Each structure stands twice: as structure tokens, then as C-alpha cells.
């Protein structure tokens, strides 16, 4: 079987063996749950509960703040203790609903749908919207928005992203193994909504068991399972489309410009659960691993569970820890505290011992060209970073800083260990700020 790929990219150490074979186990929700009102790209949700209110599992506690926004649901039953800012994954306090879990696990009545094939696409989309589903690969873009392309952009292909190219993470891998049918059903629902004829599931070659599981689940359907080269960032939306369909999404454009929508396999499962079982997005699979984790694994975690609770369960000695990352090592966010809660986009929790954390001392650029060989967007990261250093943001813009998706391939390769992504990110925010100012 042919193996598909894109140009550029890198081969980081994958380190998935510790958790790839560990089945997903449920983690009991703790006494106190902290649910951020913004777990997605777009407008934050508005709290619709107050201190003292009783809430049930699956009840809406935050209403969407606009079209590009989603509702937030309680993941436990109990009493609202506060609606207040708490430390979030971005290092600053964000508005959260704090709920005291009464451990009764009393849920609202989930509205089941026996046969979704008979329901209109708009109804299906409303159900997805109401379930608060966002892209679960980490980007957390509201799914119903992605499923609402303008009329002049017909979608012919839906690609499910099962690449899971981030090192260490195995959550998607386990979902594909354990919920193959649900993932496929989710893809079929998405295809129906978009009226897309072709459905493709792309999986990196290092997950042969997932490939066969998905192939089995796809029997009797038109859905194709394709193998992808083991390369980072194979799961980048534009790279995945390039690999699978040999189509380049135009610069500044979206996959729908080439008639494609990409969804993560975890998102497809969430779509299916929302449509068929009526269950909103209140829990997700999280890979917990790293050198400081005594008992690594893949866990079904209630949204709002503080990271510290998860780490306690996995017997992590935070005194020995040097670095705590939410997400993968390539694009995840380092935390200074284990206080932030698990949110809809938290695909992994990585903890490394201090001895395994390299504190880098950048040297001058030697123009070796490794960054541009690695860049999947064919940019020259070293140049953009240099312009960023000199605050020449217009030049950084002219060098296509805004095309950077911050995958981190360049910085991973840089022999001078220059924090290229950090510098480019700064340039990007300055460029965007200047553009907003101009209007």
C-alpha cells in the first residue's frame, strides 16, 4: 500500500511506546471541577449559572458568545461554588465556573437520535453546536463553523486526521482502536452535513493496528483509509490535504478553498456521540506521559478536572518535575503550575524530570538552512526570526510570517537552538496588531 506524505517536515523522536498499548481508562471526577468559559477559538461563552445553583451533568452552564463560539456544559452534578477567574492553560486567569461535585452523577436527559440519516443536515449541525464540540486535536475551532462553509465553496472531501504526529501523544490512536465504529459513524455524519461524497481517514504508518481497526470499521462503506509517512507535522491540516489529495491550500486560505474539510478522529467520535447519544462534550481522552510520570496512560477525563488531580492519579512527583506541558512537545504549552483544568483541547499532559529538560542557550544563526528544509510551509524561518529580532515587522510580513502555523519544526532542527517559533510568533502578533490598527 502506498504511503502518502508532504514536502518538508522532520522526524522527531516519537516516544509513544509508553502509552500506545494502554487502553483508555476513566478517571473519576474530583470534588472540585473548574470549567473555563473559553475552551475554544472565538468568543468566550457567557456564564448562565450563578453561585449556589444546582447543576446536572451535561447541563449548559455557559451560552455561546456568538456564531464562532460554543456552549459549555457541566461535566458533573453538584453546586456552583463560584463564577470567577481561575488560572488557565495560557498562564493567565480566565473566567471559570467552579462546581462542587456531589458525586451523584445525576445527568440531564440526553436526547437520543435513532436514525440520523433521516434528519436534515441543519438539524444535525444544531445538535453538534449544542453539544459544544470543537476541534479536539488541539486547535479547538468550533466544529459547527467548520461544517458551515459558504454556498460558493462546495465540499467534496472530508479527511479524518488520524495522523497523531505529535510525539508522545496516543489519545487519537486509542480512540481509533477502541471506538473505530463510532469514528466512522462520525465521519459519515459530517459527510452528510457537508454533502461530501468522499471520506478519507489518514493514519501514520506507525499505527498499523489503528489502520486495520479503521479498515475493518469502514467495510461496506465508501470510506478509504490511507497510510501516511511517519513525519511531523503530517497531521497539519494543509500538510494532510497535500499528502492525501496532492492539493495545496492557497496561502491565507482554508481547506474549503480546495473543497476539503479536515476533522480530527476524536472530534468525529464526539460528533457521533452528540448526534446519536445526545451527549455533549464533557469529557475527553488525555494522554499522560513523560519521564516524571510513574504510571503513564490514556485517560477519559472530565472537562474541568485540574491537571494536578490527573497527575496525582498517575503518581507524578511534582517536586522532581522540571517541565509540565499541556498538549504535545511540539506545539503544547509549558505550565508553571498544575492548577489549570483539563479543557476540550487538552490532548496530552506531559511531565518531564528536571534532568530531561534542556535549558537552551541560543547561538548565532549559521545559515545552515535546516529550518527552511524543515518548514512545511516552505518559509525561511531564520529570516523571519531575524527581522522579528530587529523589530522589522513589515519585512517579517513580506517574508510571509503570517503563513507560519507554529508547528515548531524549524526550532526543533536549529543547531544554534534559536527559539525561532517564539520570535516568529511575536512578529505575527505585531503584524496582526498593525493590520487591525490600519483597519
Partner 1 sequence: MTKQLIVSSSPHAHSGKTTASIMWTVLAALVPAAAYSVYLFGLPALTVLLATTVFCVIFEGLSNFMMGKPVTLKDGSAALTGIILALTLPPGLPLWICGVGAFVSIVVAKSVFGGLGQNPFNPAMTGRVFLLIAFPAPLTKWLVPTGTGEMLFNKPVSAFDAAGNLVSAGAANVDAITAATPLGLLSEEGAKAVMGMDTSTEFLIGQINGSLGETSGILLLAGGIFLLTRKIISWHIPVSFMAAVAAIAAITHAVNPEHYAGALFHLLTGGVFLGAWFMATDYVTSPMFTRGKLIFGAGCGVLTMVIRLWAGYPEGVSFAVLLMNACVPIINMYTKPKKFGLQDLAAKKEAANA
Which of 132, 135, 142, 167 is in the footprint of partner 1 by CB under 8 A? Answer: 167
Which positions ≥6 away from 160 have C-beta within 8 Å? 183, 187, 199, 200, 201, 202, 262, 263, 264, 265, 268
- Say whether residue 224 binds partner 1 (CB under 8 A): no
A 10 A CB-CB count for 50 gives 10
The verdict on 378 binding partner 1 (CB under 8 A) reads: yes
248 binds partner 1 (CB under 8 A): yes
Q: By CB under 8 A, what part of segment 342-361 binds partner 1?
A: 350, 354, 357-360
Minimum CB distance to partner 1 smaller for 83 or for 411: 411
Q: Is 238 in the site for partner 1 (CB under 8 A)?
A: yes
Among 76, 286, 411, 431, binds partner 1 (CB under 8 A): 411
Q: Does 253 bind partner 1 (CB under 8 A)?
A: yes
Binds partner 1 (CB under 8 A): choice among 111, 337, 355, 398: 337
Among 39, 335, 346, 388, binds partner 1 (CB under 8 A): 335
Chain centroid to CA 414: how far? Answer: 25
What cell was used for 340? 489549570
Question: Rounded to the nearest whole angstrom, what is the least distance from the CB of residue 30 to partner 1 in the complex?
Answer: 17
Torsion angle defined by CA atoms of residues 221, 126, 284 and 230, in that order, rounded to the nearest 10 degrees = 40
**Residue 429 contacts partner 1 per CB under 8 A:** no
Q: For residue 14, what are the CA distances in angstroms to 2, 285, 328, 379?
A: 22, 19, 11, 24
Determine, following the binding rule CB under 8 A, whether residue 380 of this chain makes contact with partner 1: yes
Residue 249 in contact with partner 1, rule: CB under 8 A: yes
Which residue carries 470567577 as its cell? Answer: 84
- Which residues make beta-bridge pairs with 63? 46
121 interacts with partner 1 by CB under 8 A: no
54 membership: H or E segment, kind and range: strand 54-55
Closest CB 349 distance from partner 1, rounded Å = 13
Q: Which is nearer to partner 1, 88 or 327 (CB)?
A: 327
Q: Phi/psi of residue 114, each to 5°?
A: -70, -50
**List 82, 107, 113, 334, residue binding partner 1 (CB under 8 A):** 334
Which member of 66, 85, 154, 369 binds partner 1 (CB under 8 A)? 369
Using CA atoms, how far apart are residues 384 and 388, in angstroms rounded to an integer? Answer: 6
Amino acid at each position: 500500500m502506498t504511503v502518502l506524505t508532504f514536502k518538508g517536515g522532520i522526524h522527531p523522536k516519537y516516544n509513544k511506546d509508553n502509552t500506545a498499548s494502554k487502553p483508555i481508562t476513566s478517571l473519576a471526577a474530583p470534588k472540585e471541577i473548574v470549567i473555563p468559559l473559553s475552551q475554544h477559538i472565538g468568543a468566550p461563552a457567557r456564564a448562565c449559572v450563578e453561585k449556589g445553583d444546582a447543576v446536572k451533568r451535561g447541563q449548559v452552564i455557559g451560552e455561546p458568545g456568538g456564531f464562532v463560539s460554543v456552549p459549555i456544559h457541566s461535566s458533573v452534578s453538584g453546586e456552583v461554588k463560584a463564577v470567577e477567574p481561575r488560572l488557565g492553560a495560557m498562564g493567565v486567569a480566565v473566567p471559570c465556573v467552579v462546581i462542587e461535585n456531589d458525586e451523584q452523577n445525576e445527568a440531564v436527559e440526553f436526547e437520543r437520535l435513532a436514525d440520523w440519516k433521516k434528519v436534515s443536515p441543519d438539524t444535525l449541525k444544531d445538535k453538534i453546536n449544542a453539544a459544544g464540540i470543537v476541534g479536539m486535536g488541539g486547535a479547538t475551532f468550533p466544529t459547527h463553523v467548520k461544517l458551515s462553509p459558504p454556498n460558493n465553496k462546495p465540499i467534496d472531501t472530508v479527511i479524518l486526521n488520524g495522523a497523531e504526529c505529535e510525539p508522545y501523544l496516543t489519545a487519537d490512536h486509542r480512540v481509533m482502536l477502541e471506538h473505530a465504529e463510532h469514528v466512522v459513524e462520525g465521519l459519515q455524519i459530517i459527510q452528510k452535513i457537508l454533502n461530501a461524497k468522499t471520506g478519507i481517514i489518514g493514519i501514520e504508518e506507525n499505527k498499523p493496528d489503528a489502520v486495520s481497526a479503521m479498515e475493518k470499521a469502514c467495510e461496506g462503506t465508501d470510506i478509504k483509509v490511507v497510510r501516511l509517512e511517519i513525519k511531523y507535522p503530517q497531521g497539519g491540516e494543509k500538510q494532510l490535504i497535500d499528502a492525501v489529495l496532492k492539493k495545496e491550500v492557497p496561502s491565507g486560505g482554508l481547506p474549503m478553498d480546495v473543497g476539503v474539510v479536515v476533522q480530527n478522529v476524536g472530534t468525529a467520535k464526539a460528533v457521533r456521540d452528540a448526534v446519536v447519544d445526545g451527549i455533549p462534550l464533557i469529557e475527553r481522552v488525555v494522554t499522560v506521559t513523560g519521564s516524571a510520570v510513574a504510571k503513564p496512560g490514556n485517560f477519559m477525563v472530565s472537562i474541568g478536572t485540574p491537571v494536578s488531580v490527573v497527575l496525582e492519579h498517575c503518581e507524578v512527583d511534582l517536586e522532581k518535575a522540571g517541565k509540565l506541558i499541556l498538549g504535545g512537545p511540539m506545539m503544547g504549552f509549558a505550565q508553571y503550575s498544575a492548577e489549570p483544568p483539563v479543557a476540550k483541547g487538552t490532548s496530552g499532559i506531559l511531565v518531564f524530570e528536571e534532568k530531561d529538560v534542556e535549558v537552551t542557550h541560543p547561538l548565532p544563526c549559521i545559515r545552515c538552512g535546516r529550518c527552511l528544509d524543515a518548514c512545511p510551509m516552505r518559509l525561511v524561518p531564520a529570516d523571519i526570526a531575524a527581522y522579528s529580532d530587529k523589530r522589522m515587522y513589515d519585512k517579517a510580513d513580506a517574508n510571509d510570517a503570517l503563513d507560519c502555523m507554529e508547528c515548531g519544526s524549524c526550532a526543533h532542527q536549529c543547531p544554534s537552538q534559536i527559539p525561532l517559533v517564539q520570535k516568529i510568533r511575536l512578529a505575527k502578533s505585531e503584524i496582526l496588531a498593525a493590520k487591525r490598527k490600519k483597519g
